[in-house]
Each structure stands twice: as structure tokens, then as C-alpha cells.
Amino acid sequence: MPDPRFASLTTPCLVVDEAKMKRNIDRLGQRADDLGVTLRPHLKTTKSVEAARYVLKDGNGPATVSTLVEAEVFAKAGVSDIIYGVGISPDKLDRVVALHRAGCNLTVLLDCAAQAEAVAKASRDVGIMIPVMIEIDSDGHRSGLTPKDADLINVGRIVHENGAALRGVLCHAGDSYNAVGRTAQAACAKAERLAVVTAAAALKDAGLPCPVISVGSTPTAHAATDLSGVTEMRAGVYVFFDLVMAGIEVCDVSDIALSVLTTVIGHQDKKQWAICDAGWMAMSRDRGTANQQIDQGYGLVCDEAGVVIPDLMVLQANQEHGVIAVRAGSNGIMPDLPVGTRLRILPNHACATAAQHQRYHVVPETDGAALLEWPRFGGW
């Protein structure tokens, strides 16, 4: 039955299930408590002040961001303890300083001497000890220093002895997104913990401070069994989850709280296709499930209430057109989808899909309550 609350919405648009989102948030919050660490949510997934209020217990942090625009927006909203979790470039340090002067304790991330020297110089020039985390690499996924890299101590000394503030070490186990199942993800979490604890010990043995020891990815946060020696964990996509997370068994499809509302606009009867108005501009080009055991195309199709229609997916996408079809080789049956039918599509990657939109339309957990609207933002 059509939901009258959606009738006035122009498709494609983002829909959030508040009840599912809150369950997801509570689940990881409880895990952090059980593991004895602080949860530092990553706000890059939602990029929304209204959504952030659900994950920031005290309203002012701790939080993680991936852009300085995020830091600036959330700082204006009162978030005062933020890690900028992308390696700092010297040209952005003026914005870092401005945030500090406005009252936000923003920590920057680096993994080489050139960055360390730039941050130390900026700290001396303005008389502010900019807090610094050194990025540690636990799996060769992307950036960071290995725990036994000789440059680790050198970078730490440049920071600590030349005007900035060495706050600790940080690791992101990026390869965990390729680890299927709890056992494999727990192994990634173990390697992540070992990397930062080893790096922290090396810094301390060299007489350098390392008060914060930070780990985090949504898979490892949910799979870790021992975080001894770690002070905090970070995660972001856990708030909404998505098909990639379901594909590696971090969550169930039924946990996904984000979808794209779309309208059927035509058919190709000979091909058994329905055409909808959610193309890649609405869903993004992210095909993160393409290399998983089950390829979900550009998203799984649900009815307007958010119930998955078996074996129905967005097979292909053009800029403003999505092609809905039954999964090849399945026993699924193409349902009757007249022009004007409203459907919801579960995304491969929540962060990428949300980035295509300017607002969320939120279905409240209270049955029958009016939709809420949360603005979201972008930029760097």
C-alpha cells in the first residue's frame, strides 16, 4: 500500500528509517562499552548535523571527519573534539588554525616528516600547539607508517620537539572491507590493534607521548574481541549500513537504514525491464558489491514500505535512468510495476549514495508520524 507521506516527495530522494538507524547506533555503542573504549563516530557518512546528534552522546564529540568542511560545519554546531582523519596538506593549515581559534580542538593526521615539519612550523608561527596523530599502517591498504618504520620516531620527534602536540597514533584497517565473515574481520581487528599498540610502545620507549591509541573501521569495530591497550575506536557507515557491509556479513540486509525512493517511469516489456528515475546520479557509480560473492548491481529493489522484493535489482544505470530487472539465473518473477509505482533501492555504498543528495527524508520510529527532513552538505 502506498505511503501517503511519500506522495509529495520528488524522486529520486533519500529516505532514512529512523528505527533501524537507532538500532545500528545502539549496537556499536554497546560494543564500545563492552570493549572498554571510547567510540569516536565518523561523521563522513551522514554529513548532517541532525544525524550527528544521534551518535554524539554529549553533543560536542568526540568525532571524526574526512574533510575540513565537515570539521567547520560540525564545529559551528558545537562539536569541539574532532580528528580530521585524512593526511594534512600544508595549504590547509590556515583553516586548521582558524578552527582552533574558534574553540574547536581539531587534531590533524600525518605520516611523514614533511607534513610534521609543516604542522610544527604553523604551530610556532601562530602560538597554538596543533594536536597531531601519526597514521599507522596495519595492512598495506593505503597510507601510514608501519609500527617498526624508523621514520615513526623521527616524525614523532619533529612534532613533539618543534611546537606541535603529539597526541597519539591512529590506524584504519581498510582491508577489512574485503574480509568476509566475523572470523576474517576479527583477524583484521587483531592486526589493527597490534599495529597501534606496537607503534605506541615504540614512541613511549623513545620518550615521546602517546596518550591516544585509535583504531577503526566498521567491520573491525564490530568484530574486535580484544582492544587492550587501545583507547578509542572509530566507525562511520555503521549508522546506515549498506549492501557492501551486508555482503561481508557485518550486518543483514534488513539492517540497512538508507534507501533511495524512486518512481517507475517506463518499461521494456520484451526485456522484462522496468525503468525508474534513479540512475547513477541518484545511486552513485559505486559498484562495491561487484567483486563480492553476490553482485547487487546498482542496488536491491524494495517496495515503498522498504520490504525487499526477492531477486529484483537495479541491473544497470545511466545518468538519470535505472533499469530494474530480475537477477539473472534466479527464480525471481518480475512483479507488475505500473508507471508511477514508488520503490525504494538499497545502496551499495551508503556514503557514496548519500553524497548525491542534499537532504534526508526520515521515517520516524513512531508509527504514522510525519516525515522529518535533515539537510546534508558536501564539499572539502
| Mean pLDDT in order along the chain per 10 residues (380 residues) | 89 98 98 97 97 90 97 97 97 98 98 98 98 96 93 98 98 95 98 98 98 97 98 98 98 98 97 97 97 96 96 97 96 94 98 98 95 97
Q: How far apart are CA 309 and CA 265, in angstroms?
A: 18
Domain with CATH 2.40.37.20 in the chain: 4-14+257-375
Q: Which fold has domain 4-14+257-375?
A: Lyase, Ornithine Decarboxylase; Chain A, domain 1 (2.40.37)
What predicted TM-score, i.e. pTM, was given to this entire model? 0.96
Residue 2 has a pLDDT of: 77
pLDDT at 58: 81
CATH code of 36-237, in short, is: 3.20.20.10
Sequence ranges of the chain with CATH classification 3.20.20.10: 36-237
The pLDDT, as a whole number, for residue 197 is 98
> In angstroms, rounded to a whole number, what is the distance separating the alpha carbons of residues 121 and 163?
7
Classify the phi-psi angles of 75: left when phi > 0, otherwise alpha if psi is within -120 to 50, otherwise beta. Answer: alpha
40 and 216 in contact (C-beta within 8 Å)? yes
Kindly list the distances between the CA atom of residue 218 and the CA atoms of 173, 174, 260, 296, in Å, as whole numbers in the listed order. Answer: 9, 10, 22, 20
Q: Which residues, including other chains, have CB under 8 Å from residue 126's CB and lie 6 or more apart? A: 97
Q: What is the dihedral of CA 297, 302, 304, 306, to 10 degrees?
A: -120
**Could you give the CA distance from residue 380 to residue 378 in angstroms, rounded to a whole number?**
7
Q: What is the pLDDT of residue 57?
A: 79
Give the pLDDT of residue 285. 96
Dist. CA 57–CA 81, nearest whole Å: 12
Q: How far is CA 189 from CA 177, 180, 245, in A?
A: 11, 13, 16
Q: What are the beta bridge partners of residue 65?
A: 84
Q: What is the pLDDT of residue 291?
A: 93
pLDDT at residue 168 in the model? 98
The CA distance from 41 to 218, in Å, is 10
pLDDT of res. 368: 87
For residue 258, the model assigns a pLDDT of: 98
Q: What pLDDT, on a 0 to 100 scale, did the predictor assign at position 232?
A: 98
Cβ atoms of 154 and 198 within 8 Å: the answer is no
Closest CA to 253 of 219, 300, 315: 300
